[in-house]
Amino acid sequence: MQKKLDIAYLGHDILRSKTTRVDHIEDKAFQEFIDHMIYTVKAVNGLGIAAPQVYKKDRVFIMASKPSERYPNAPTMAPITIINPEIIKHSKTTTKDWEGCLSIPGIRGLVPRYDSITVKYTNRFGALINSSFTGFIARIFQHEIDHLNGLVFLDRLETNKDIITESEYQKIVTTSL
Ligand code: ZN
């Protein structure tokens, strides 16, 4: 049975905590936790969700991009479960683009991220995966792996002037469509 997990909001210690490697991916409780995370990220129209955002200290996150009211320009992808991730290589170039976070409602920031990354991680079936991501998906990966290291997107901003409200952001995306 899938259930919607409670979201931790900025100010709660869990979002600033260190996480630990997942060693028993096959455990029933962990597999159920993954199902709950996937269900939750869809239910709240997120593009990704990391374990600390639902009060767990496991090194796991879900990427689940699809267009929504929160992110009208997001590409569509099937949810991917990313366990014990590492960024092995990244482009020299970065691009600034708008990000939000389920744990920081009402706020958007213009966040610089690497344009492309080469990563390794373990999937929910225990297979070691080497992969490369570019653009928006690379951005989601970098946002979510930050959560596993106690960071949020606000920590990556070049200036506080790159913070805007959700309502002003909605005007920007509407006019750029
Ligand atoms: Zn986030």
Q: DSSP 3-state assignment of 5?
A: coil
Alpha-carbon dihedral 52, 126, 2, 50, rounded to 10 degrees: 20
Does residue 2 sit within a domain? no
User: From the CA of 153, how far away is ligand 1's center (Å)?
Assistant: 7
Inter-CA distances, 171 with 25, 38, 62, 66, 161, Å: 42, 29, 28, 20, 17
Could you read off the pLDDT tens digit of each residue along the chain, which spans 177 residues?
789 999 999 999 999 999 999 999 999 999 999 999 999 999 998 999 999 999 999 999 999 988 877 777 788 889 999 999 999 999 999 999 999 999 999 999 999 999 999 999 999 999 999 999 999 999 999 999 999 999 999 999 999 999 999 999 988 877 654
Does residue 44 sit within a domain? yes
Does residue 1 sit within a domain? no
pTM greater than 0.85 (yes/no): yes
User: From the CA of 126, how far away is ligand 1's center (Å)?
Assistant: 25
Catalytic center residues: 144
Does residue 101 sit within a domain? yes
Structure token pair of residue 9: 């909001």
With CA atoms as reference, report the closest residue to 73 among 30, 136, 151: 136
- Write the pLDDT tens digit of every residue in 36-61: 999 999 999 899 999 999 999 999 99
User: From the CA of 102, how far away is ligand 1's center (Å)?
Assistant: 6
Domain range for residue 122? Answer: 13-176
User: From the CA of 101, how far away is ligand 1's center (Å)?
Assistant: 4
Structure token pair of residue 155: 């920590």
CB hemisphere CA count around 1 (13 angstroms): 1
- Write the pLDDT tens digit of every residue in 85-105: 999 999 999 999 999 999 999
Supply the CATH number for residue 141's domain. Answer: 3.90.45.10
